[in-house]
Structure 1
């Protein structure tokens, strides 16, 4: 199901033995567009620290609820590696974090989540791949490659949209898939560039660059195309019929068609649910 990032903010994160804190922002990577961490502000029980919670740990939450349940204890979270949210999260810090919790590395693999399209791990939940491929992916275990490419949704909110023929609109929100924890769309507000203002969606598949110095998000779509695309109504959930109309308008193949062709043989039985908008 598709949800807004805004629907996560303020939600309580509940461990197996009590509350951890509330979600403040979300970190995603600008290459695979996977949501890597929830930034959680803890209560007084650990001095108002901010901790990272990976989708790997999310267990469940009831639809419409205001809490996200994780398969962790408060002690595990308290003892987790410290994070300074005022500084970029390095790949080395990520490697330390993942080792602490026993999670697999998501980088260097074949899917958004390393060897899977879902934030699940363990032999029963990983797709079948060749021995050679497993050996190649294992090389990344102790040698985290390159920059982490982690970005905060709070930081990208407000970035200008650079169309192929000029600036048109700015980022005003994010839509993600609560099953794969993948960012699917940026919400674009056009009111400062077009008198008949409206919000539209641009799929992350159609973005080729995020410039952190110029604070722009670049797409090969034209301004006229964006202007004439189906309007987005934030009060209505994004459903497949709307997505089909949007992709057909741009003459693009829907990500769900590709997804159905590549679903792993041992897909998680119960998709993760997060609160609705």
Structure 2
């Protein structure tokens, strides 16, 4: 199912034993444009401390009830590696995070989710060795930060990013939602991730 990132912001995150908070934003990598973490504001439960939830933990997205079910307990989340929301997510933090939960690291392998093009729910697959797999260095960006980036076509700017269309089966971002502003007033268009030539994070521009 394709869903808009903005539409599931503020969805409740339901652990096995109760609510842990609400979705605030998403972190994705710049190689596969895939959501690697849901950033969750824990509200009163942990004094609005933010925690990261991997798509590996997601069981389902319920649009009618506006909630996301995860296969973790509140204790597991509370005792997960601490994260400083004012700092970038480091490789060391990610390594500790994946080790804590027992998930296979997504940066060991040549496909979207390491050795697989999808999220494997088979824990036996998680134990497969990845020592000899190709490792790549992920750079994570937040949907909040990229919202507003300009879209630069070969013959000029066409607008700016307002939202992201996510495939909730793989958590890959499939499209950018672009407000065409003065070029085509009152219109929004979809730009496929496959059309992206490069991104200039310094210029805040996406080239297609």
TM-score, normalised to structure 2's length?
0.92
Once residues 97 and 133 of structure 2 are traced to their aligned partners in structure 1, the CA distance between those partners, rounded to angstroms, is: 15
Once residues 62 and 202 of structure 1 are traced to their aligned partners in structure 2, the CA distance between those partners, rounded to angstroms, is: 26
* Structure-2 residue corresponding to 1:198: 187
Choose between structure 1 and 2 for higher RCO, CA contacts under 8 A separated by at least 6 residues.
Answer: 1
Alignment coverage as a number of residue pairs? 207
TM-score, normalised to structure 1's length?
0.70
Q: Which has the higher helix share?
A: 1
In structure 2, which of residues 149, 152, 164 is the aligned counterpart of residue 174 of structure 1? 164
Q: Report deviation, 1:109.
A: 1.3
| Cα deviation code 1:18-74 (max 9, x no counterpart) | 110000001111111111000000022323210000000011243422111100011
Q: Report deviation, 1:123.
A: 5.8
* Structure-2 residue corresponding to 1:150: 140
| Cα deviation code 1:198-247 (max 9, x no counterpart) | 1100100111212111000111xxxxxxxxxxxxxxxxxxxxxxxxxxxx
Are the structure 2 counterparts of residues 8 and 63 from structure 1 closer, same or farther at C-alpha, using a change threshold of 3 Å?
Answer: closer
Matches within 5 A, 1:180-259: 180-194=170-184, 196-219=185-208
In structure 2, which of residues 128, 131, 140 is the aligned counterpart of residue 138 of structure 1? 131
Residues 160, 167 of structure 1: 8 Å contact kept: yes
* Structure-2 residue corresponding to 1:25: 25
Residues 25, 39 of structure 2: 8 Å contact kept: yes
* Structure-2 residue corresponding to 1:52: 52
| Residue 106 (structure 1) aligned with residue 106 (structure 2) | yes
Once residues 83 and 133 of structure 2 are traced to their aligned partners in structure 1, the CA distance between those partners, rounded to angstroms, is: 23
Q: Which has the higher strand share?
A: 2
Once residues 192 and 140 of structure 1 are traced to their aligned partners in structure 2, the CA distance between those partners, rounded to angstroms, is: 47
Are the structure 2 counterparts of residues 121 and 104 from structure 1 closer, same or farther at C-alpha, using a change threshold of 3 Å?
Answer: farther
Q: Any runs of at least 4 consecutive aligned residues in structure 1 with deviations exceeding 6 A, and if so which?
A: none
In structure 1, stretches of 5+ residues that fail to align are 127-133, 220-277
Once residues 203 and 8 of structure 1 are traced to their aligned partners in structure 2, the CA distance between those partners, rounded to angstroms, is: 20
Once residues 199 and 166 of structure 1 are traced to their aligned partners in structure 2, the CA distance between those partners, rounded to angstroms, is: 17
